[in-house]
Amino acid sequence: MRTNGRLSLILFAALLQGCAGRPGDEQIQKDIQIKVAAEPEGKDSDIAVLAEHGKVTLKGKVRTESARNKLESIAKNEPGVVEVNDETSIEEYQPAAALPATPAGSAVVLQAKHSESPPPPRPPVVVPAGTVLTVRLGQSLGSKISQTGTVFTATMANPITINGKMVIPDSSEVIGRVREAKKAGRMKGGAVLALELTAITVKGHKYNIETEAISQTSTGKGKRTAGMIVGGTGGGAAIGGLAGGGTGAAVGALVGAVAGTTGAAFTGNRNITLAAESAVSFKLSQPLTLKRER
């Protein structure tokens, strides 16, 4: 009897010692989470550990099958664990696409399309001073029928090209002004008609321009000569094609120098008349800067 009693006490003490030595569920759960976090293959995993009466359940996502096996092994080897239920799933990691190889010493610059800098604006086109603009009048002008300050319209008779490229098309709209208009006196005093251009529209853009004024005068009665004066410089541009269609203006110098040959520009009563559609040329006194089309 005494022997059996002693054996029962020994077995009971061993059982108490075993129960006291097994860690609790909370400790098991905490220890496994620490070991998983320290494991290199588990760093990119998202794992939750649940422990209940020594039974451990793993939930979440791992990157590879190898990582899954490693984490399950950690749980099984944890003291106090009696069973492991692995409910994790594998979510493979997708690495970024590799950049193409480049030669040694070369630099690769990556830039999003939306952040690319726009190309620098192209330089403007400059029509130099001295360029002759030949226009066709939109209405009749004359020393008798026009007044000083009257605004008139015209269109380019010929295109203007620079370096072989057309920069001012023909038919471009032009605006001018009658700088001076004086009809001939009844007994003496010649007629005066002076014109200048003030603006031009090129491809939808309007530009102010400055030209040398051209003027034509008639002498006293009986002489009927006409001289050309160009903006005080005396050179280059001329009133031409005054009969309504000739190219005229480029020849410059005198118009109707001999009596009886003055045509539409010089009437019998010594007044000066330029019919509509007459070609008249002007010289730019200042450069004209044009916007360059993209």
Cβ atoms within 10 Å, residue 96: 5
pLDDT over threshold 60, residue 190 = yes
Domains and CATH numbers, the chain: 7-90 (3.30.1340.30), 125-290 (2.40.128.260)
Comparing C-alpha atoms, which of 210, 216, 182, 181 is closest to residue 196?
210
Query: CA-CA distance, 274 to 256, in Å (whole number)?
Result: 13
Calculate what percentage of the chain has a pLDDT beyond 70.
64
Copy the structure tokens of residue 186. 């009844």
What angle (nearest 5°) sits at the alpha carbon of residue 38, between those of residues 31 and 54?
25
Rounded to whole angstroms, how far apart are CA atoms 218 and 220? 7
Distant-in-sequence, close-in-space partners of 145: CB < 8 Å, separation ≥ 6: 273
* pLDDT at residue 4 greater than cutoff 70: no
CB atoms within 10 A of CB 34: 12
Are 218 and 228 within 8 A, CB to CB? no
Q: Kindly report the three-state secondary structure assignment for every residue of 21-35.
A: HCCCHHHHHHHHHHH
Q: Is the dihedral of CA 17, 22, 24, 27 positive or negative?
A: positive
pLDDT at 150: 93
Per-residue model confidence (pLDDT) at position 179: 94
Q: Which residue has the higher pLDDT, 146 or 39?
A: 146
Lowest mean pLDDT among 72-81, 131-140, 141-150, 228-237: 228-237
Residue 183 pLDDT > 90: no
Number of CB atoms found within 10 A of residue 198's CB: 15
**Per-residue CA distances from 56 to 7, 19, 24, 64 (Å):** 35, 18, 12, 21
Q: Which of 1-5, 23-27, 203-207 has the highest mean pLDDT?
A: 203-207
> What are the structure tokens assigned to 159, written together?
């295109």
* Confidence (pLDDT) at 46: 80
At 13 the pLDDT is 52
Residue 28: the pLDDT is 85
pLDDT in tens, 6-63: 655 555 555 554 555 678 888 888 888 888 887 877 767 788 888 888 888 988 888 8
125: its two tokens: 């086109």
On the question of pLDDT at 255 being above 70, the answer is no
Count the Cβ atoms, other than its own, within 10 Å of residue 22.
Answer: 13
